[in-house]
Chain A
Amino acid sequence: MMSILQTNNLTLGYGDTIIIDELDLKIPTGEITIFVGANGCGKSTLLRSLARLLKPKSGQILLEGDRVSNLSTKEVAKRLAILPQGPIAPEGLTVLQLVKQGRYPHQSWLKQWSREDEQVVNQVLEATKMKELVDRNVNSLSGGQRQRAWIAMSLAQKTEIILLDEPTTYLDLANQIEILDLLFELNEVENRTVVMVLHDLNLACRYAHNIVAIKDKKIYAQGRPEDIVTSELVRHVFNMECEIAVDSLFGTPLCIPHGKGRKVKNRKNKAIAV
């Protein structure tokens, strides 16, 4: 499978600290790739550098075969969208005003609202179910609605790839599933490549075609969740002992950590494969 985004010998760091060391990574086109790893392992740093938000100390990033360092930032914006973690909207900004910003790379001062801009924004508002909330202040929305508004903005960029840094942190479970379902559908229906950083390993296993586990400044393992997520991986990457079970709805790996907790007498244990 061709790789829409890849790194060659990429080294990233802040000041003298190296966070990612000589990393070669290929992001498969048209799939959902999820970065997992312990806190501080560098997954957000890696994602941000893929979006050219952070300059590499050495190595290159190739976007559709072109070196990102050679592309203008506007050109990159037409091919790749990034939603950083915890974005903040200015007070009083409406959903429509926010989503319209996503069209920036396709606009100019004379061309501020073309037919295509209008169509895309409408489409995107439909897809994220934000049509009824267009005139509301972004900051007055609930957490889940707000996140959908930001995702709508990123989608309005109409790029082949969309990167999201922890899009579900701070959301309740129902909202998390709603967002992840939306991204999953986008990938299925429009074949967009999605790259995310997620904290929840189980959700990552459920939604990702491709998991990249990061540890010690390098990729520890990469592949389909059912192939690579073992208790050994969890031990090395997260420094935690666990049992790997099979999700009873989706068949993907389900990580059950060892540790403390109430042990309820076994009644009907469908979830644990013995």
Chain B
Amino acid sequence: MDKYTILRSKYDKISFFLEKKTLIILPFLILMTLLLLIFGLSVGSTIIHPWSIIEHMLGKGTGDYTFIIETLRLPRMTLAFLVGVSLAVSGLILQGLVQNPLASPDIIGITGGAKVAAVSFITFFSAVSIKWLPIVAIIGAGIATFIIYILAWKKGITPIRLVLIGIGVEAGMGALVTMMIVLSPTYSTSEAYIWLTGSVYGSNWNDVFSMLPWVLIFIPITILLSRRINLQEIGDDLALGLGSNVQLDRLILIFVSVALAGSAVAFAGGIGFVGLIAPHIARILVGRSFGSLAPVSALIGGSIVMLADIVARTVFLPLDLPAGVFVSGMGAPFFIFLLYKNRNI
């Protein structure tokens, strides 16, 4: 078994099984993310040499670029990263729960709920301070998920009912959003659209620190639940036979997935596809074990959103486009590729 490393404490009290492939790929991904960060900080309407960025981060900078780096670009990139991480892990959990690689928070209604809440807030409550928007979005995601859970419950939740009800609810939410936009006054329409497309424009440190607790709480919880997610994937009978409390685990996992996706959508709007693509790329790199997939998907998701935002704000300078455009731009062809690859199933 030379593909694995085993970590064991004395007396065998603590032990971990680590796949060597993951141990090699993770540092690479971390490095890639850091390089992407430095690259992102250096480009824009003012180009800053990467070396100056590094100096600044190490505290030895000249202070010329402090405003651009620390107030404009860094919070935005950090938020993009956090959003990508949350969406990727949320999608990973859902794909395991639903036993379907095409699942993502967009498809089963989580983001739909957030969208309805956010768009109604923007359209009908434009007098209320915008700082309430993230909370409203998360509550919307929660309510939608609650509705889906209740509708799908019949002595328990099975993956297929969850998917079918989720698709229906998502479609309903989509219709509701469209109706609201059509009926809305012109001044809020574009704001609503930008939110729906997904953007980290104008993000500040406040946003980052509001989102951070969600990531810091729910990502570790996800890691703690990895063994249970692995079990959910092989089927209810087997999971129960192996001693896991299937329905309880499923409920907890849905909750975690919603918390992660909900918070991401709350702060970045309706960014799609990350929850779908990132886990797939991760699977190609490190295989099937959840313990490996979680960190790898997270880093890939974070990088995708960071990259999309970098492209969005530089490619059409001086225009600053919503990052969601480029996430979809990268996501749609990939999704088609996935469908093509799975066509015989």
Contact = CB atoms under 8 A, between A and B. Distances in A.
Q: Do A and B come from one complex?
A: yes
A111 B230 contact: no
Interface stretch (B51-59, B167-175, B235-243, B257-265): B235-243
Contact of B243 (A74, A87, A93): A74
Given A73-B245, A93-B288, A101-B230, A53 B1 contact: no
Interface string A71-91: 011111110011110011111
B234 A53 contact: no
B50 interface: no
Residue of B1, B15, B231 most packed against chain A (CB within 10 A): B15
Contact of B240 (A73, A98, A107): A73
B244 interface: yes
A113 B15 CA distance: 5
Contact of B17 (A52, A82, A113): A113
Contacts of B8: 113-115
B241 A82 contact: yes
Contact of B231 (A51, A53, A101): A101
A100 interface: yes
Contacts, number: 100
Contacts of B15: 110-115, 117
B241 A81 contact: yes
Given A73-B244, A109-B224, A118 B238 contact: no
Contact of B237 (A53, A98, A101): A53
Contacts of B17: 100, 112-113
A75 B289 CA distance: 25
Contacts of B234: 87-90, 93, 98, 101
B6 interface: yes
| Chain A interface residue number, banded | 35 or more
A105 B244 CA distance: 8
Contact of A135 (B3, B240, B244, B245): B3
Given A84-B235, A87-B235, A112-B227, A104 B287 contact: no
B16 A105 contact: no
Given A48-B237, A92-B287, A110 B242 contact: no
Contact of A77 (B99, B233, B243): B243
A87 B99 CA distance: 13
Interface string B1-34: 1010010100011111100000000000000000
Given A102-B242, A109-B224, A117-B15, 15 more contacts: A51-B241, A73-B243, A82-B238, A83-B238, A84-B238, A84-B241, A101-B231, A110-B14, A111-B15, A113-B8, A114-B12, A115-B12, A116-B12, A118-B6, A135-B3
Interface of A: 48, 51-53, 72-78, 81-84, 87-94, 96-98, 100-102, 104-105, 107, 109-118, 134-135, 157
Nearest 10 interchain pairs by C-beta = A77-B243, A74-B243, A113-B17, A105-B243, A84-B237, A82-B241, A104-B242, A92-B288, A113-B15, A90-B233
Interface of B: 1, 3, 6, 8, 12-17, 99, 101, 224, 227, 230-231, 233-235, 237-238, 240-245, 283, 287-289
